[in-house]
Amino acid sequence: MEVFRVLHMNGGAGDFSYANNSLLQLKVISMTRPIAEEAISSLYCSTLPTTFTIADLGCSSGPNTLMAVSQLIKTVENIRTNLCNNPIEYQVFLNDLPGNDFNAIFKALPNFHENFKKEMGADLGPCLFTGVPGSFYGRLFPSRSVHFIHSSYSLHWLSKVPEGLEENKRNIYMAETSPASVLKAYYDQFQKDFSLFLRCRAEELVDGGYMVLTLLGRSSEDPTSKECCYIWELLAMALNDIVSQGMIEEEKLESFNLPKYMPSPTEMSIEIGKEGSFVVNRIQVSKVDWHVYNNNDESNGLRAGGYNVAKYMRAVAEPILVSHFGEAIMDELFIRYGEIIVDRMAKEKPEFVNVTVSLTKMK
Ligand SMILES: C[S@@+](CC[C@H](N)C(=O)[O-])C[C@H]1O[C@@H](n2cnc3c(N)ncnc32)[C@H](O)[C@@H]1O
């Protein structure tokens, strides 16, 4: 599987699009907003740039894309106007892999500009947006050209499926039944990818530049902990059911593994320390209920909530699953996955774990 070519969220504005199924990620952006605000405020006050360059990495498409950067601009604008400083220009880079629905972002920009200008007032300087297709596991921007880098719910994707996962059998990610060799292969790939990411960003950030990254992760040091693996174990269960029904071959399932890694804060800190270009300002764990569409409508709400979880997982995982299994099984797979999730959510209250790190590039 060539992750660079295959990975993207479901585009467009349909029922299974990321644009219509990204409330979870929106909630996470809001939850971690104080950390991003603290970082960008401190950066603005210490550098007072006349052109402020912000990059959002793994921006996807849909309401979250422009929401994340507009919140950052608003924070800077509040401070700038309080200090009675002159208007500044904002250069905004929106990055994602080439398969991302960049057209949807570009089409949304005119309305965004109009509304944002109305909201912020005539004193708002130019906000210049540029789409940057490419992998963040490589260089994206010129040297020392970016002040602030933001990334939410993207960096847990690896650059490739680790090598040496043949013994992972009917699992699709790390699981309790995965042999030690599989756990090691995943960790090795995370270490390589995350250190490469840090090296590239260290080149691109100005001295004293900031980076705020939120990943799906875990608080436990056990990489097979339920905190990070459960949602994928349930998808593996649904895929195994599809195998039992004869809709896909067993070998097809056994040759599929996800290019993801959900690290602990310790694992991230180790790589940041080894790379050596950044100071950690803060590293924080937060949790968010799977049942993000919580409507307090007891059993009915829970049932609908379970199917919603399957839907937002479909918006994220469908393209990569289609590339391996084909399109024909998708409806059946996600109905089964929804049923499994509904059943589990009736018995327990699972949560996603997020790790957010705020970093400053050393001078
Ligand atoms: C779940 S979406 C998050 C989107 C948005 N940041 C949000 O919070 O709603 C993850 C995004 O990361 C992107 N992504 C994954 N690996 C990437 C890579 N190596 N380079 C750039 N983008 C990547 C995916 O294509 C996807 O659009």
CA distance 351 to 267: 20
CA distance 149 to 127: 16
Stronger pLDDT, 276 or 346, i.e. the higher one: 276
With a CB cutoff of 8 Å and minimum separation 6, the contacts of 354 are: 28, 31, 32, 153, 214, 215, 216, 217, 285, 286, 287, 288
Mean per-residue pLDDT for 26-40? 92
Write down the mean pLDDT value for the chain: 90
Mean per-residue pLDDT for 203-214? 96
Q: How far is the CA of 59 from the centre of ligand 1 (A)?
A: 6
**Pocket of ligand 1, candidates 30, 97, 141, 258: which has the most ligand atoms within 8 Å of its Cβ, to mutate?**
97
Query: In this structure, what DSSP letter does residue 18 have?
Result: S
With a 6 Å cutoff on the Cβ, whether 9 touches ligand 1 is: yes
Q: How far is the CA of 56 from the centre of ligand 1 (A)?
A: 10
With a 6 Å cutoff on the Cβ, whether 8 touches ligand 1 is: yes
Entry field: residues in the chain: 363
Element (H, E) at 131: strand 127-133
CA distance 66 to 86: 24
Task: Give, rounded to a whole angstrom, the gap between the first and last alpha carbons of the chain.
Answer: 39
Q: Strand 127-133 and strand 89-96: pairing?
A: parallel
User: Token digits for 51?
Assistant: 């052109």
CB 329 within 8 A of CB 242: yes
CB 8 within 8 A of CB 95: no
- pLDDT > 90 fraction of the chain, expressed in percent and rounded: 63
With a 6 Å cutoff on the Cβ, whether 70 touches ligand 1 is: no
User: Token digits for 144?
Assistant: 């020392």
Q: Strand 205-216 and strand 351-361: pairing?
A: antiparallel
CA quadruple 105, 107, 112, 117: dihedral sign: positive
Mean per-residue pLDDT for 105-127? 93
- The verdict on domain 3-361 having CATH code 3.40.50.150 is yes
pLDDT at 21 over 60: yes
**What is the atom index within ligand 1 of the atom nearest the CA of 22?**
9
With a CB cutoff of 8 Å and minimum separation 6, the contacts of 196 are: 137, 138, 159
Mean per-residue pLDDT for 267-273? 97
CA distance 34 to 360: 16
CA distance 104 to 325: 27
Q: How far is the CA of 244 from the centre of ligand 1 (A)?
A: 33
Mean per-residue pLDDT for 161-185? 90
SS3 144: coil
Please tell me the least confidently modeled range out of 47-61, 199-213, 307-321: 307-321
